[in-house]
Structure formats: C-alpha cells, structure tokens
Structure 1
Amino acid sequence: MVNNKILLCLAVLFLVVTAGCSKQQSARPPQEVAVKAMQVIQQDTPVTYEFVGEIIAKEEVPIKAQISGNISQKLIKGGDNVRAGQPLFEIDQRKYSAAVADAQAQVAQAQASLSNIRRDVARYQSLANQGGIAVQTLDTSVSQAEQAQAQVNAYQAKLDQAKNDLADTTVVSPVDGRIGVGELSVGTYVQAGSTVLATVSTVDPIQVRFSMSENEYLKFARMGSSPDAWGQNLKLMLSDGTEYPLTGHLEQVDRGLANQTGTLAMKAAFANPNQLLVPGMFAKIVAIGEKRQGAILIPQRAVQEMLGKTFVTVVGANSEAVSKPVKLGPKIGNLQIVEEGLTVQDVVVVEGFAKAQPGSPLKVSMIGLNDLNIPVAK
C-alpha cells in the first residue's frame, strides 16, 4: 500500500515537472533567421532586350575547281587563314599545257594560211584593176581571205580557252577568311564545277543570327523605334557571361515572319579583328529599348517563383519576414525591374529567404550592389 502511494506521488510529480517544461518551451521566442537584405533601387533605367543568337560567317564560300583532274599539290592546311587570290590547290597541268601548245600550233597554221591568201588578194586586186582577170576571181579570193580570218579567230578563241584552263589548274581563294579542315587530299580527282575542294569562311566582320518574336517586334514598333534606331550599338554577351568589347549593328532583317516559328530573323554584324568569335558559338544580342523613368530595381536572385507566381521577401516593420507578390518587368543585366508590388521604401531579402517563413523574425545584414558584384544599370 505504501509502495503504491509512493508511485502515485512520483507520477504526479513527473506530470507537474513535464507540464512546467512544456510551458517554458512554448513561451520561448522563435529563433531569428540570419538574412542579407538591401534597399530597393529606384532610378531612370534604359530597358534592354536580350535575344539568343548564333555566330555565323558573313560569307561561306565553297571552293570548286573550274577544270577536272587530279590534285597534284595542296598549298594550305585546314584551319589556315587565307587571303583573296591566295593559291590553295594545284591540279595536274600536263594535259592543259598540251592543249595550249596544240592550240598555239593551230593558230600559227591558220595565220600562215591567211597571210598567203591575203597576198593572193593583193595580186588579184592589181590584175583586176588592169582588166587582167575577171572580177569574179577577185571576189572568190576575197571570200577565201574572210574564211581564213574566221578560222584564225576560231583557233585564237580555242587558244584563249586553253590558256584559261591552264590558269585554272591553280585554285585560289576568292575571299579573305579561314579555310575548313575538311579539304581534299593530294591525288583526289575533282570534277569541274561540282567537286567542293574546301570551304572558306569570312572571319572579320562576322555575323550573329538571331530571331525576334512577333510581340517583341510590336513592342519596338509601338515605341516608334525602327530597326535603324535600336539596331545600332548592339552589345554581345558571350556564353561565359563576359561582354564582347566591340559593339555591332543590325545588318539584315528578313522580309517577314517565319511561318513555323512566328519569329522575325535578323543578322547583326560585329568586327572580329582578333578572331575571338568563331562560327557556331552561341551568344546573346543585347539591344537598348525605351528608358523607364524612376524604375524599381531588385537583384534577380531575390525573386521567388511558385505555382506560376512571383514573390519577394521583404523586411517588415518589426524585422519580420513578409512575402509580397510582385509583377516583374524586363531584366536589366542581373537586375530585375519590378512594375508592381514594391515601393522605394522596401528592404528586400536577397540571401537566406528560403529559411525565412512569413512572420519569422529576421537578423538582417544590410548589403549593397557592390557586395553582390552587380553593376548598377545606367
């Protein structure tokens, strides 16, 4: 009996202690969440538009032989820079040299025959003036001289063609550029006008091919900005995130939207003196559009997305986390224009918001754009 009373007392004591501890724990304030935050930026901001593009050669020229034969000599190697007029290949000249010699002999023979006939014409002319021969004989001789002259002309044309064919045994580059690595080897037989010996791509300037959607085109058009206006001083962002040091300009605009994609194809030209840009690379074209007066800007990394909606976490009046829905505008580099949802007085959480639930107390460290290595848009 005594033991039961003791056990009952211990149980009551345990419940009292446990209840007291639970009360103390429930009364303990929630732990602060350490975050980094920054004041919302407000400034006049030129809006930029980005378009994904592919770097292409302005000209890609397939090199074809004008005559048939075997390649006897290759004067370049794949990837070489070549100049317009620079010899690239030699085609076996032997039969073309022989054709020139044969045509020269035919021309010489025809010219000799023509000289004899002309002397006959001169004699017949003198005799005809004296009445020594019939006029018909003179006319026949003159006709023979005309035929001989035509024969000389025909053989001369044949000689000219043979000389051209002989000259074409040396294949030269028609443009400055870089030759591909898939050129043919010595001994390969090439067919006139069909076999591609190599391809030369121009490298300076170079083009960037990109497309603009219908809505983007309408946006530029409604701003009253023609391609001649916004298409100047284009910037190029390379795939590693660096900016190409030279600006470019819009050079070609397609005649209409593509049926399948509904986009307008364009090409911009960039100087490429150091040949940093290579066909096949991807880059972003950055064009400047309208200027937003007093735009609200925040870092892109502060934006949260959930179920198709965008939010940011701001520091409330009592240093608690407050989630605010926002309507975003264009991107400006690594910054984001906010069209609705924030004011210039707001302090936005940039780092640590994933642990800060709405209402959570915050331990705020204020930072600036320099701390995030983000340049301010100007």
Structure 2
Amino acid sequence: MHRFFLPACLLAALSGGCGKPAPRQVPPLRVEAVRAQEEPIPNRMSFIGYLSSNFDAVIQPRVNGFLASRHFANGMPVRRGQLLFTIDPSQLSTSMLAARAELESARARALEARNNYDRAVPLARINAISQSQFDQYTAQFRAAEAAVQSAEQALRNARMNVSYTELRSPIDGTISNTSAHVGDYVGPGTQFTVLTTVSNTDTMTVDVAIPMSQYLRLAGGRTSLYDNEGLLSDIRLTLADGTRYPGEGFYSYTRKDIPNATGTLVLVVAFPNPDGTLKPGQFAHVAANVGPVRPHVVVPQRCVIQSQGQASVWVVGPDSTVRYRRIEPGGTYGDMWCIDRGLQAGEAVVANGVQKMRDGAKVIPEIR
C-alpha cells in the first residue's frame, strides 16, 4: 500500500506544477467621453466662382467720323463724365453751319409770308381779294412757319451730332482696352461700332450655384424659384491668398435659366467694393448659410472616425460598455460635426483613445 502512495503524490505534484495560471483581468480603460448635443446649426455651404463687375457700360459712337484722339490708359479707373474719345468734328460742323443757314433762310421766307398774310387780312374783310387768294396767303404763311420749325429741329440735330464727337464715360469704373486707333473711321456701320467698355466696380458679383435637390430641401416652402430673398445669410468672401474680405455680401437676384447640364439654381450675390480692392475675374471662395437654422445633433470632430468612406463613433452605454456604431455625418460647424443619422442627443461617445477600443469592452468614462 505504501509503494503506491509515493507515485500518487509525485503525480499530483507534477500535475499541479504543469497547470496554467489563471488569466489576469485587464482593468477597464479610462477614457474621455462627451455627450452629443442638439444645437441650432445653420446649413453652411461653400461655393467657388469668379468676381464680375456689377454691370458694363458699352461705349459706342453715335456718329461716323475719323477718331481724332483718346484720353485714357487701358485698364485704369475713370470717372463719370471723363472724356474718353474725340471724333473729328469737321464734317459735322459743316453740316451744322448748313443747318443754321437753312434756318435763317426759312425765317426770311416765313417773314415774307407773314407780311403777305397780314396785308391780305383787311383786304379779305372788304372783299377786295377773293377767298381763294386769301386761303393761298394763309397756307403760305403756315407752311413758312412749319418750315422754320423744321429748320430749327435740323439745327438742333446738327448741334447734337457735333456734341456726339466727344465720348465721355457714363459711370465711374474701370475702362477696358480698345482696338481702335487714332485715324480709324469709327461709328455705326463700321468695324468699330463698339470702342470699349467701362465696368462698374463699386459692387462686385459672384454666381452661387445650388444643386436643385439641395435647394428644394432647404428652400423652406418657397413658392417661387426666383423669390430667394432671405435664403442666404452671413455671406462671406475668401480671396485666392486665403485672406477674408472684410465686407459682408448680400443677395442680389436669381438667374432666370437653370443649366440643363448641372441642374443647379444660380443665385447672384454681391459684395460692396468702395476702395476697389476686388477686381473682375478674381478667384472667389464664397461661404454662406443656406436656408433656415435647424437643430442638429453635434459632436466634436475628434470623436468621428473616418475610414474607406465610412464614418463611425464609439458609443458608451449606460453600463460603461463601448459599442461601435456607424453614422452619417453632415456638414461641419466650427470644430463640431453635425450628425444626420446614427446618433441621438444625450448619448456619450468616446473622444480620445479610439484606436484602443474594442466592441463590448468596459471603460471608465469621464464624461464632459
């Protein structure tokens, strides 16, 4: 009996020495968490475009003639009333002198006709002349007066044509270049029917294209596609070098056509440009709030994990267990991310150490 006792003890000792120790339990990880909040967030959209002048004034000669001089430098600012071009007035001045001579001749004929009429009136009263002769004197007098009025109008037209030989800027703005040179024959019917343009730069405009699907969602029940006053707010402009233009923009109007290729509604926004900082053709990055302010569920951007086109967060449950959850993020607002689907206000999400999380793990959340 004793000879079996030692091997049994030895077997027990060996079996006890070869056994695996119990696994160590990993303590819960302490993590920072934040609660999703519901806040009224404007729908901020960004647009890319180019600045354009508010309108262009086309400088067209009204009379024909040889270009005598030009009084501006290409691309420079001009003031309203500033002389831009001079057309040789010689031929038109001759026409004006001829019109003046014709007026004097008409006045002389009218004076003769009036004298004849005045002498015929008393003779007609005593029947010294026939009624037909009196009617003839009356008609001649009235025709002579009409000829004077016609000659006066011809002289006014001739004077106006002479004044048209000086072309002045109708607005303040920046003038373009011209292809006409001194000595060219310009005016209606020539190759120089347009000499140049003056662009108004007191206000600059940018086209803002909103996809029709987004417009219908954000329009807030508007009955007309062209009544978009108040749709945009807090309109800001960023220039190509990243600087922010200090002036705030405003809605101007909606273009009447919707491009078939893009299916977008084009709104025109304007920016005051009193000191001429903005130039036509300049690159413009425009950001604006579109539509009414609506409540959104928001979390800090550092809480959202983005990978392969998917967005997700780690949600801390009431039992301090973390769960992986996919979400649909919307736009950003400051350092916050708007969540369209997948998260409710009040739920806690992990804000740091997201790489160490595993689904179902226990954590010690420090909720802020």
TM-score range, shorter chain: 0.7 to 0.9
TM (normalized to structure 1)? 0.71
Q: 2:86 aligns with which of 90, 98, 104?
A: 90
Q: CA offsets, 1:134-173, max 9 Å, x none?
A: 2222211111112212222222222111111101001112
| 2:161 is aligned with 1:165 | yes
- Measured in 1, the distance between the counterparts of 2:296 and 2:232 equals 22
Relative distance call for 1:76 and 1:305 in structure 2 (3 A) is farther
- Measured in 2, the distance between the counterparts of 1:256 and 1:74 equals 39
Matches within 5 A, 1:158-197: 158-182=154-178, 184-192=180-188, 195-197=193-195
Matches within 5 A, 1:266-305: 266-288=267-289, 289=291, 290-298=293-301, 304-305=306-307
Deviation at 1:297, TM superposition (A): 3.1
Corresponding residue of 1:57 = 53
Relative distance call for 1:98 and 1:180 in structure 2 (3 A) is same
- Measured in 1, the distance between the counterparts of 2:313 and 2:277 equals 40
Q: CA offsets, 1:195-221, max 9 Å, x none?
A: 111111111112111211012201212
Matches within 5 A, 1:105-144: 105-144=101-140
Structure with higher helix content: 1
- Measured in 2, the distance between the counterparts of 1:271 and 1:71 equals 36
Matches within 5 A, 1:182-261: 182=178, 184-192=180-188, 195-222=193-220, 227-255=228-256, 257-261=258-262
Relative distance call for 1:140 and 1:223 in structure 2 (3 A) is closer
Deviation at 1:339, TM superposition (A): 4.1
- Measured in 2, the distance between the counterparts of 1:270 and 1:276 equals 11
State the aligned residue count: 310
Corresponding residue of 1:26 = none
Q: Is the 8 A contact 1:40 1:297 kept in 2?
A: no
Corresponding residue of 1:264 = 265
Deviation at 1:347, TM superposition (A): 2.2
Q: Secondary structure at the match of 1:196?
A: coil
- Measured in 1, the distance between the counterparts of 2:231 and 2:302 equals 26
Deviation at 1:102, TM superposition (A): 0.6
- Measured in 2, the distance between the counterparts of 1:199 and 1:38 equals 62
In structure 1, stretches of 5+ residues that fail to align are: 1-36, 315-321, 360-378
Q: Secondary structure at the match of 2:44?
A: strand
Relative distance call for 1:60 and 1:299 in structure 2 (3 A) is farther
Relative distance call for 1:43 and 1:162 in structure 2 (3 A) is same
Q: Is the 8 A contact 1:40 1:348 kept in 2?
A: no
Q: Is the 8 A contact 1:53 1:209 kept in 2?
A: yes
Deviation at 1:238, TM superposition (A): 2.3
Q: CA offsets, 1:224-257, max 9 Å, x none?
A: 7973223244222223333221112111113453
- Measured in 2, the distance between the counterparts of 1:299 and 1:86 equals 59
Relative distance call for 1:177 and 1:326 in structure 2 (3 A) is same
Corresponding residue of 1:25 = none
- Measured in 1, the distance between the counterparts of 2:175 and 2:209 equals 28
- Measured in 1, the distance between the counterparts of 2:314 and 2:187 equals 70
Deviation at 1:92, TM superposition (A): 0.6
- Measured in 1, the distance between the counterparts of 2:59 and 2:33 equals 60
Corresponding residue of 2:146 = 150
Relative distance call for 1:256 and 1:136 in structure 2 (3 A) is closer
Q: Is the 8 A contact 1:39 1:348 kept in 2?
A: no
- Measured in 2, the distance between the counterparts of 1:291 and 1:178 equals 43
- Measured in 1, the distance between the counterparts of 2:332 and 2:82 equals 48
Deviation at 1:183, TM superposition (A): 5.4
Corresponding residue of 2:69 = 73
- Measured in 2, the distance between the counterparts of 1:223 and 1:348 equals 42
Amino acid in structure 1 at the alignment position of 2:331: P
Amino acid in structure 2 at the alignment position of 1:248: G
Matches within 5 A, 1:1-12: none
CA RMSD of aligned residues (A): 3.3
Q: Secondary structure at the match of 1:229?
A: coil
Q: Secondary structure at the match of 1:227?
A: coil
Q: Is the 8 A contact 1:230 1:287 kept in 2?
A: no
- Measured in 2, the distance between the counterparts of 1:312 and 1:86 equals 66
Q: CA offsets, 1:64-88, max 9 Å, x none?
A: 1001112111111112222333221
Amino acid in structure 2 at the alignment position of 1:219: R
Deviation at 1:293, TM superposition (A): 4.6
Amino acid in structure 2 at the alignment position of 1:209: D
Report % sequence identity.
28
Amino acid in structure 2 at the alignment position of 1:277: L
Amino acid in structure 1 at the alignment position of 2:126: Q
Q: Is the 8 A contact 1:204 1:272 kept in 2?
A: yes
- Measured in 2, the distance between the counterparts of 1:217 and 1:250 equals 15
Q: Is the 8 A contact 2:300 2:335 kept in 1?
A: no
Q: Is the 8 A contact 2:237 2:245 kept in 1?
A: yes
